[in-house]
Amino acid sequence: MRIIAPSFAILDELDRQSLPVRIEYCGRICYKSEERIDSDSAIPFVKKMAINGHNSVLEMGVATLVATCATPEPIQALFFRQPKFLHIDRLQDDRLLITGSIRAFREMRLFHPEDAICRAIVQFLGHRHPYFFETPATPKDEAAPTGVRIDKLELNEVERLAPPLCARHRFLAVKFIVNRAVTHELVRHRPCSFLQESQRYCRYSADKFGNEVTFIKPVFFAEDSAEFTMWQQAMEAMEAQYLRLLQTSSPQAARTVLPNSCKTEIIVYANLAEWKHMCALRTPPAAEPSMREVMIPLAQELERRYPTIFS
């Protein structure tokens, strides 16, 4: 067995990559198949996710757009339909700021195919990333809606928005390496998107895992304490039972003996407003100690990067 400390990483470099590259990196966390990533793997990967309807993976790519309308009717129609999972702000009477994930835009196409702004967005994104919109299909000969123009806002432009708008439209991915008790708390934050290492598919007896189970060092016990020794003995016993079960069972069956202390990786994707809310809930003295162990330094780093939002 292996024991490691918890950690986190803000994936800001990933934000500078293309949508397919971002989505593939996050998606492969689930199966711990990062070794399959190469210069040509991103588009086949995301195309497969779209065809198979693995929508949670497609939540890991977000685009911020500006919709300019010649008349008020398209804007009124969009607000009337209240499309799910989009962040919409009115910049001017004729201009909307819209941020959404690839999943959200695909579902707009599915549930509101007659909406002019929806059609304009899907055509705009579909021209650049057709593999996202093959299911549901985007008709190639569909006429572009008149009176609606879509422009993309680049990341540096999003970060220059006024703080209230930046907080809503700047999305940030954080990769946590923590125990599974911490992830049970993280996934309670509903507006976020999550992708997590899957014990159902990962076989920890494989060479790429070192033929062992990795555990997170508990914050509760000093290493020279009797309690830590008791915890370590329990983890060794659990690992032995798990590896023995793998000889006759699948990973999804063997994982039933694994404890909360198991190391897992999870990517949490949310806008800065939600990160501020999470930090406010998960850093006070009453919060769970293992959660505070990673959330306090994360909150400090976010405040350093975005002082107008987090201060």
> CB neighbours of 58 closer than 8 A, spacing ≥ 6?
23, 46, 49, 50, 101, 102, 103, 106, 132
* SS3 (DSSP) at 151: strand
For 65, which DSSP code?
Answer: E
> Which residue of the set 28, 119, 255, 282 is catalytic?
282
**Cβ-count burial of 246 within 10 angstroms (0-12 exposed, 13-18 middle, 19+ buried)?**
middle
282 is catalytic: yes
For 212, which DSSP code?
Answer: S
Tokens of 188: 């309670």
* SS3 (DSSP) at 145: coil
**10 Å Cβ neighbour count for 143?**
8
Q: Which residues are catalytic?
A: 282
